[in-house]
Amino acid sequence: MIERLRVANHRGVEIPAILGLALGGVAAASVATVALLDRVDRAGWIATAALALVLAAGLVDDLTPSGPRGFRDHLRALAAGRVSTGIVKLVVVVGAAAVTVAAVPGRTGPARLAGALLIAASANVWNGLDVRPGRAIKFFLPVAVAVLATPWPAQPFLPGVALGALLLLPWDAGERAMLGDAGANLLGFAAGLGLFHLVHGWALVVAAVVAVALNVLADTVTLTRLIEIVPPLRWYDSMGRRT
């Protein structure tokens, strides 16, 4: 399987897309640690199962590199009667996001809808970021810092994913390995869920709208162009990357 996970990066050099599996392992260790030291509530176990499904769906997509790429290409394939692994992954991610927010107590129906959109859209945004070495991890870390104070029993994998991303950044930025869809979707799902626990009311709606808008930009203008035309983003994106 590892050999099938070797893909060409933006330079055309084949490297293993295995960092997602490493992140999944660290996330599992984090869940076990939180369960031992504190507790994991019902919402946390459901979120953990949802994250595992997202990781698995991304891994299946990584193992099928010849399929259509991009949301529009997947829709064209579906219209032609072909169910791509990307469509399957989309259904899994949306379903996982919906089940996860439904398990969080004390949130209204509109908040759950906005939360499901935010989490699913975030998973796809980070998938779109993973086209340059280290980019997806670097844009995940500020979000991780912001949401680490949110309740761990409801998302027990979050501290492990944040620590794992930090430890794996040199491997990703140094072009020794890649996240792949499995790792990128995992980061985006964790980021979206953390934001769902962090923001409320209209701020949650705004966050969901921004995440959906970034998906539209990723499929049209591309996130790379957007990053390149904003000097602070371009500087941050280039930090630590090989020239």
- 100, 22, 5, 116: which is closest to 61 by C-alpha? 5
**Helices 85-102 & 109-129, crossing angle to 10 degrees?**
140
Write the DSSP assignment of 96-114 as a string of letters. Answer: HHHHHHHTSTT--HHHHHH
CB-count exposure of residue 41 (10 Å: 0-12, 13-18, 19+): middle
pLDDT for residue 77 is more than 80:
no
**Residues 6 or more apart from 224 whose CB is under 8 A from it?**
131, 132
* Model confidence pTM above 0.95: no
Q: How far is CA 21 from CA 7, 35, 73, 88, in A?
A: 15, 21, 26, 19
Question: Residue 76: which pLDDT band, with cuts at 50, 70 and 90?
Answer: low
Domain that holds residue 80: 17-238
Does residue 180 lie in a domain region?
yes
Does residue 6 lie in a domain region?
no
Does residue 4 lie in a domain region?
no
pLDDT at 117: 97
CB 164 within 8 A of CB 153: no
pLDDT for residue 71 is more than 80:
no
pLDDT at 120: 96
Beta partners for 6? 16
pLDDT for residue 242 is more than 70:
no
pLDDT at 2: 52
Does residue 207 lie in a domain region?
yes
Long-range contacts made by residues 237-241, C-beta under 8 angstroms, separation at least 24? 237/132, 237/135, 237/138, 237/139, 239/138, 240/134, 240/138, 240/169, 240/170, 240/173, 241/132, 241/133, 241/134, 241/173
pLDDT digits (tens, 9 = 90+) for 111-156: 999 999 999 999 999 999 998 999 999 999 999 999 998 989 999 9
Does residue 228 lie in a domain region?
yes
Q: How many domains does the chain have?
A: 1
**Interval 91-109 mean pLDDT:** 94
Does residue 9 lie in a domain region?
no
pLDDT digits (tens, 9 = 90+) for 188-239: 999 999 999 999 999 999 999 999 999 999 888 889 999 999 999 999 998 8
